[in-house]
Amino acid sequence: MATLNIKVKKYLEANSKVYEDELDNFVLRNDGSGDYIKSWNVSGLTEPTEEQLATYESSATTEENNNNIRGTRKSAYGNIGDQLDEIYKDIDAWKARIQSIKDANPKE
Protein backbone atom coordinates (compact mmCIF):
# COMPACT_ATOMS: atom_id res chain seq x y z
CA MET A 1 0.00 0.00 0.00
CA ALA A 2 1.35 3.38 -1.01
CA THR A 3 2.08 6.06 1.57
CA LEU A 4 -0.14 9.09 1.92
CA ASN A 5 2.81 11.29 1.04
CA ILE A 6 3.24 9.75 -2.41
CA LYS A 7 -0.51 9.71 -3.08
CA VAL A 8 -0.65 13.44 -2.22
CA LYS A 9 2.32 13.99 -4.56
CA LYS A 10 0.44 12.22 -7.37
CA TYR A 11 -2.73 14.25 -6.63
CA LEU A 12 -0.78 17.51 -6.80
CA GLU A 13 0.97 16.54 -10.03
CA ALA A 14 -2.34 15.49 -11.62
CA ASN A 15 -3.63 18.98 -10.84
CA SER A 16 -0.66 20.81 -12.39
CA LYS A 17 1.08 21.52 -9.10
CA VAL A 18 4.75 20.92 -8.38
CA TYR A 19 5.05 18.78 -5.26
CA GLU A 20 8.32 20.36 -4.12
CA ASP A 21 6.82 23.86 -4.46
CA GLU A 22 3.84 22.91 -2.27
CA LEU A 23 5.63 21.24 0.66
CA ASP A 24 5.02 24.23 2.95
CA ASN A 25 1.31 24.29 2.08
CA PHE A 26 0.18 21.02 3.65
CA VAL A 27 0.96 18.96 6.73
CA LEU A 28 0.64 15.18 6.98
CA ARG A 29 0.46 13.43 10.35
CA ASN A 30 0.01 10.04 11.94
CA ASP A 31 -1.64 9.92 15.36
CA GLY A 32 -1.11 6.18 15.73
CA SER A 33 -4.27 5.19 13.90
CA GLY A 34 -3.04 6.06 10.42
CA ASP A 35 -1.76 8.85 8.23
CA TYR A 36 -3.98 11.85 7.56
CA ILE A 37 -3.85 15.41 6.21
CA LYS A 38 -3.66 17.74 9.20
CA SER A 39 -3.74 20.97 7.21
CA TRP A 40 -4.13 21.91 3.55
CA ASN A 41 -3.41 25.37 2.14
CA VAL A 42 -2.60 24.65 -1.51
CA SER A 43 -3.75 27.65 -3.51
CA GLY A 44 -6.46 26.86 -6.04
CA LEU A 45 -6.78 23.20 -5.08
CA THR A 46 -9.16 21.64 -2.59
CA GLU A 47 -7.98 19.08 -0.08
CA PRO A 48 -8.26 15.62 -1.62
CA THR A 49 -10.83 13.18 -0.33
CA GLU A 50 -9.96 9.60 0.62
CA GLU A 51 -11.67 8.48 -2.58
CA GLN A 52 -9.59 10.83 -4.72
CA LEU A 53 -6.37 9.69 -3.08
CA ALA A 54 -7.36 6.04 -3.54
CA THR A 55 -7.32 6.57 -7.32
CA TYR A 56 -3.56 7.16 -7.09
CA GLU A 57 -2.82 3.94 -5.18
CA SER A 58 -1.45 2.03 -8.15
CA SER A 59 0.76 4.77 -9.58
CA ALA A 60 1.98 5.73 -6.10
CA THR A 61 2.90 2.12 -5.34
CA THR A 62 4.81 1.90 -8.62
CA GLU A 63 6.68 5.12 -7.78
CA GLU A 64 7.58 3.85 -4.30
CA ASN A 65 8.77 0.53 -5.68
CA ASN A 66 10.90 2.29 -8.30
CA ASN A 67 12.36 4.60 -5.64
CA ASN A 68 13.40 1.55 -3.63
CA ILE A 69 14.94 -0.01 -6.72
CA ARG A 70 16.85 3.21 -7.46
CA GLY A 71 18.27 3.10 -3.93
CA THR A 72 19.34 -0.52 -4.35
CA ARG A 73 20.95 0.27 -7.69
CA LYS A 74 22.72 3.34 -6.34
CA SER A 75 24.23 1.32 -3.52
CA ALA A 76 25.32 -1.45 -5.90
CA TYR A 77 26.82 0.99 -8.41
CA GLY A 78 29.27 2.25 -5.82
CA ASN A 79 31.20 5.49 -5.53
CA ILE A 80 31.23 7.66 -8.66
CA GLY A 81 35.00 8.10 -8.41
CA ASP A 82 35.48 4.32 -8.44
CA GLN A 83 33.13 4.04 -11.37
CA LEU A 84 35.06 6.64 -13.35
CA ASP A 85 38.28 4.77 -12.61
CA GLU A 86 36.63 1.54 -13.74
CA ILE A 87 35.42 3.22 -16.97
CA TYR A 88 38.91 4.53 -17.67
CA LYS A 89 40.48 1.10 -17.14
CA ASP A 90 37.86 -1.04 -18.91
CA ILE A 91 34.61 0.53 -20.09
CA ASP A 92 33.23 -2.78 -21.36
CA ALA A 93 33.62 -4.42 -17.92
CA TRP A 94 31.92 -1.39 -16.33
CA LYS A 95 29.03 -1.56 -18.82
CA ALA A 96 28.57 -5.28 -18.11
CA ARG A 97 28.60 -4.71 -14.34
CA ILE A 98 26.09 -1.86 -14.52
CA GLN A 99 23.82 -3.86 -16.82
CA SER A 100 23.89 -6.83 -14.45
CA ILE A 101 22.83 -4.52 -11.60
CA LYS A 102 19.96 -3.15 -13.70
CA ASP A 103 18.91 -6.63 -14.75
CA ALA A 104 18.89 -7.80 -11.14
CA ASN A 105 16.86 -4.73 -10.04
CA PRO A 106 14.33 -3.93 -12.80
CA LYS A 107 11.98 -0.99 -12.50
CA GLU A 108 8.25 -1.47 -12.91
Q: What is the C-alpha to C-alpha distance for residues 50 and 36, in angstroms, rounded to an integer? A: 9
Q: Which CATH class for the 4-77 domain?
A: alpha beta
Count other Cβ atoms within 10 Å, centred on residue 16.
8
Question: Which mean pLDDT values do the consecutive 10-residue runs of the chain (108 residues) have?
Answer: 95 97 97 94 97 97 96 96 95 96 95
User: Would you say 105 and 69 are in contact if contact means Cβ atoms under 8 Å apart?
Assistant: yes
Q: Is the pTM of this model over 0.85?
A: no
Residue 1 has a pLDDT of 86
26 torsion bin: left (phi>0), alpha (psi -120 to 50), beta (else): beta
